[in-house]
Amino acid sequence: MSTRTPTSGVFDTETRPATGPRVRNRVEVGDDAPVSISDRSTANRSALNAPSKSGSLGRQVARHLRSRIMQGEVSPGARLPSETEIAVDYGVSRVTVRTAITLLESQGLVDVRHGSGTFVSDFGTEIKAGIQELRSITETIREMGFTPSMERHKGETRAASEHESKRLDLMPGEQVLDLQRAVYADGEVVAYSFDVIPTKTLDAQMLERMGQGSVFEVFETIGITPARAMAELHAVSSQEIAWGPQKPEQGLFLLLDQVHFDKDGKPFMYSKSYFVEGRFQFVILRTR
């Protein structure tokens, strides 16, 4: 056996913080001969069924490992089980585990050291507000522990401008939904959002719902899944952007100018998000 006894079982580390009750998943695999050293073996194979059905096996494992790390099952700086252990745990090959870990490493979440092990990055868990991960503003606000809300300032259909139709790959003069909203976190305005959405793929009912809740939720109901976004960053100083009683005095914003693409590479939304400087912290983990 190990002479170092670093981490023995299924993600329990010596420096583990107070974690919630470990959910033991029933083993319902049954295809390969179970190694079954004791109870704790191929325990997480079944866990890959639930919400992470999509994508390759490696991606599924990556997603699952990621959520476990984010939930604090392993404290930053602590070592993960060896690749072999994880492979046995999930009932997959070591190759699959490696692709998963490579993915996590490229996201800056873990730190792989040759001959030593894979460690949870010291920052890793802080990057929740990171830009590079594609998630909606409200989602990000919620993850940061605030309560997000929206106020619709404008919502009408009009012809797309030349610039917009170029970005969205539209014919000139095509109709778009012009959505202007203020984004709040705990009642304080943090951003002004200007979204432009082609109406050709939407019916009247959809148009109405767009104004209300999360835009992305509506897209999901019609089978459009955001896969990528091409974003530009700019500093903007202007009095023409904000409105309302909480309009910031100095008019200084960080602009996220981006086009959203679905999984087929088709653009489906063009949005300009003006973040009030100082109210919203953008953190990026840059890696080699």
Partner DNA sequence: ATGACGTAAGTCGTCCTACAACTTTGCCTA
Partner DNA sequence: TAGGCAAAGTTGTAGGACGACTTACGTCAT
Directed axis angle between helix 83-90 and helix 94-106, to 10°? 110
Confirm or reject binding of residue 15 to a copy of itself (CB under 8 A): no
Q: HEC profile for 149-164?
A: EEEEEEEEEEECCHHH
36 touching a copy of itself, by CB under 8 A: no
> Binding of DNA at residue 54 (CB under 7 A)?
no
How near is the Cβ of 261 to DNA at its closest, in Å? 17
Quick check: 89 binds DNA (CB under 7 A)?
no
CA distance between the termini of the chain: 36
* 53 is a contact residue toward DNA (CB under 7 A): no
Sign of CA dihedral 12, 17, 18, 21: negative
Smallest distance, a copy of itself to C-beta of residue 188, A: 18
107 binds, among DNA, a copy of itself, none (CB under 5 to 8 A by kind): a copy of itself
Q: C-alpha distances in angstroms, 112 versus 80, 115, 191, 209?
A: 10, 9, 37, 45
Q: Does 111 bind DNA (CB under 7 A)?
A: no
CA distance 75 to 15: 7
- Which of 29, 144, 222, 233 is the binder for a copy of itself (CB under 8 A)? 233
CB of 79 to DNA, least distance (A): 7
Q: In the 8-state DSSP scheme, what is residue 54?
A: S
Residue among 10, 47, 65, 80 that touches DNA (CB under 7 A): 80
Check binding of 57 to DNA (CB under 7 A): yes
107 lies in the site for DNA, by CB under 7 A: no
Q: Identify the three-state secondary structure at position 120.
A: strand
Nearer to a copy of itself, 95 or 159 (CB): 95
Q: Answer yes or no: are the C-beta atoms of 242 and 249 closer than 8 Å.
A: no
288 binds, among DNA, a copy of itself, none (CB under 5 to 8 A by kind): a copy of itself
CB contact at 8 A, 209 and 245: no
Question: Are 233 and 255 contacting, i.e. CB atoms less than 8 angstroms apart?
Answer: yes
132 vs 201, beta carbon nearer a copy of itself:
132
Measured from the CB atom, is 26 or 114 closer to a copy of itself? 114
Question: 175-185 and 188-198: which strand pairing?
Answer: antiparallel
List 22, 94, 154, 158, residue binding DNA (CB under 7 A): 94
Q: What is the DSSP string of 189-233?
A: EEEEEEEEEESTT--HHHHHHHHHS-HHHHHHHTT--EEEEEEEE
Binding residues for a copy of itself restricted to 111-170, rule: CB under 8 A: 114, 122-123, 126, 131-134
269/229 Cα distance (integer angstroms): 9
CB atoms near residue 264 (< 10 Å): 9
Q: Which entry of DNA, a copy of itself, none binds 3, CB below 5 to 8 A by partner kind? A: DNA
- Residues in contact with DNA by the rule CB under 7 A: 1-4, 6, 32, 56-58, 80, 82-85, 91-96, 98-99, 112-118
- Residues in contact with a copy of itself by the rule CB under 8 A: 55-56, 95, 98-99, 102-103, 106-108, 114, 122-123, 126, 131-134, 226-237, 250, 252-255, 258, 265, 277-278, 281-288
